[in-house]
Structure 1
Amino acid sequence: MSGPALVPPCPGWKEDLPGPCDSTLLQPNLGNQTPNHQDDIYLEIPRSAMAYRGVVSALTLLYLIWALSDLPWMINHTDLTDLESVLLLGFMYALYSWSSIILFRADLAPPRDLPIRFNRARHKIYAYNFKHQWWNPFDKGKVVPVSYEWSQVRAERWSRTSPLKWGVTLSIVVPGTNNVIDRFPLVTMGADQYAWAYICTYMQQGPSALPPPGEHKDHNDLLWYEIALRLAPKVNWPADMDLESRTAP
């Protein structure tokens, strides 16, 4: 296998996938996902900030209840006249608080969906990205929508063993070079290179070359028990980008 073509390669690089105008021998497939929208003008696919939204919040709440219920016992068994013991207790509960806030933010701060739109008519890609500093409990994060020419997009397959994860990253290059100027995930632990084949087939040949999609799902149409998603921000594209990404020139 030859080495990575892009500079720099994505972390955990395993393989460069075919370019945006190259043919692919893989069967187009989005796995268990269905497009948010698909017609002759644009394709929108969903992305999730993490799998099983709400599980982390629920476990964090149980962890916090346990830590607080244990506080009276810890105080009773701490020598409050010993400065070192008091500082150790304070540090322990500061660490509990810091980790709890980080875990809650990781689950609740990202938007309900992080869609990517592929506009055939304009030959452009529009990504609804979310940026945040995971270690900073005061950082709420922010949405950073971006738009690039389809010809600038490259795809890389990656994997790592600790923890076990895999996926496909989209990299944006300076035109005419392999120098990466932006990078964001396409899929994580999902259809991988088959999802990229689906997108390339759509952009090159149109929706008629793809298997009929399942029923489209609105990312704001939630089930009653999806509490974490209800608390998460709604998807809100900038008005100009929203209109451009859904229409032909």
Structure 2
Amino acid sequence: MAASKPLLQPRCPGWKKDLSGPNDPPEKLVTTKFISNPPNAFNEHYIELPRSTMNFRGPIAILSIILMICSLWGGIFFFYALALPIRNIEDFISKLTVIGAILFSAGSALGGWRLDTECPRDEPIRFNRARRKVYVYRFRSNYFKLFSRTEWGVHVDVFDWDDLHAEYCSAYGPMGTGGKIEMVMLAVREPGTNIAKDRFKFAGSQEDGESFWTIAQLFMQQGPEAIPAFDRSPRDWNNEDDTLNIARRLAPKVKWPEDIDLESRTAP
């Protein structure tokens, strides 16, 4: 029976249930035909699971282009309107409102473009059984610093396997008639406590998330021989240059830092 309250605090938004702990027996039997993508790679030391956080790409980039064009046209007409005298406070407020709308539209367009084209093609996660470490290839963004180079880009985070905790969350998003958004999150606990110091998306559906978490548990607890066989080959995320999707063509390829790449794939 699922717990009625989350184990960790602060509570994950949209929390529905906790999955079994990293060293507990897996709760789910893996049915490989229902998993969207097989593991990217694995051997006796590590397994790499796909973790693309931008599965639906392209429309945001196109919408950003349209929004930027509209902002430019709006700016041109507004500069012509600036030549007209300000007769009263209503004129001043209306012009200030137009400036705010143009700047907001331009900022939204730039942020959407950067998100859709700079987020890497995959954000994989590696579980290293020999080191009992987890390596997360993670894209970060900051809409308040749209022109920053340091606030946008890939960072590799390293966590202890024993500090991870998986949670299934879902909520209804603002999609007109409503749309259910579900995902499995991985929380990182303060050692020895039930306080979550970090959280990140693990999978974009309950089926994928629970299956991938079970695969990670099986690998870390029993080794590569416990991983079920898949009928299809792993997806080559870096080999997508022939697609017509402009966002996927511009998206950076996955490239681990050399020292982390070596560490995450080997034993101590």
TM-score (norm 1): 0.87
Q: Which amino acid is the alignment partner of residue 6 of structure 1?
A: L
Code of the aligned partner of 1:218: D
Contact (CA 8 Å) 2:163, 2:189: kept in 1 or not?
A: yes
AA at the equivalent of 1:4:
P
Q: Secondary structure at the match of 1:220?
A: coil
Distance in 2 (CA, whole Å) between partners of 1:223 and 1:32 is 21
Query: CA-to-partner distance for each residue in 1:88-131, whole Å, 9 max, x for gaps?
Result: 43333222211111111221222222110011222221111222
Whole-angstrom CA distance in 2 between matches of 1:93 and 1:121: 54
User: What is the CA distance between 1:13 and its match in structure 2?
Assistant: 1.4
Q: Give runs of aligned pairs for residues 66-215 of structure 1, distance below 5 A.
A: 66-68=70-72, 80-82=84-86, 84=92, 85-140=94-149, 141-163=152-174, 164-189=180-205, 191-213=208-230, 214-215=232-233
- Give SS of 1:192's match: helix
**Cα deviation code 1:171-206 (max 9, x no counterpart):** 122332222222211112361222211221222223
1:64 is aligned to 68
1:229 shift after superposition? 2.7
Distance in 2 of aligned mates of 1:217 and 1:103: 26
1:115/1:93 Cα in 2 relative to 1: closer, same or farther (>3 Å)? same
Structure 2 distance, partners of 1:75, 1:181, is 48
Does the alignment pair 1:51 with 2:55?
Answer: yes
| Match in the other structure for 1:37 | 41
Count of paired positions: 249
Distance 1:63-1:29 versus aligned 2 partners, 3 A rule: farther
Q: In structure 2, what is the Cα distance between the partners aligned to 1:218 and 1:71?
A: 43
In 1, Cα distance between the equivalents of 2:258 and 2:76?
A: 52
Secondary structure of 2:22's counterpart equals: coil
Q: Determine the structure 1 residue equivalent to 2:247.
A: 228
Deviation at 1:45, TM superposition (A): 1.2
Q: Distance in 1 between matches of 2:101 and 2:127?
A: 48
Structure 1 residues 78 and 197: CA distance shift in structure 2, 3 A: same
Distance across 1 between alignment mates of 2:76 and 2:8: 56
More deviation in 124-133 or 213-222? 213-222
* Residue 264 of structure 2 corresponds to residue 245 of structure 1: yes
Q: Tell which deviates more after alignment, 199-208 or 98-107.
A: 199-208
Cα distance in 2 between the residues matched to 1:68 and 1:148: 45
Distance 1:202 1:29 in 2: 16
TM-score, structure 2 length as denominator? 0.81
Instruction: List runs of 5+ in structure 2 lacking aligned partners.
Output: 175-179
Q: Is the 8 A contact 1:28 1:201 kept in 2?
A: no
State the distance in 2 between where 1:146 and 1:42 align: 16
Match of 2:177 in 1: none
- CA, structure 1 residues 150+86, in 2 after alignment: closer, same or farther (shift >3 Å)? closer
- Shift in Å at residue 7 of structure 1? 2.4
How far is the alpha carbon of 1:43 from its aligned partner? 0.9
Measured on the aligned residues, the alpha-carbon RMSD in Å equals: 2.5
2:13–2:169 Cα contact (<8 Å) kept: yes
- CA drift of 1:77 comes to 8.2
Question: Which SS does the other structure have where 2:51 is aligned?
Answer: coil
Query: 1:132·1:139 contact (CA, 8 Å) conserved in 2?
Result: no
CA deviation after TM superposition for structure 1 residue 132, in Å: 2.0
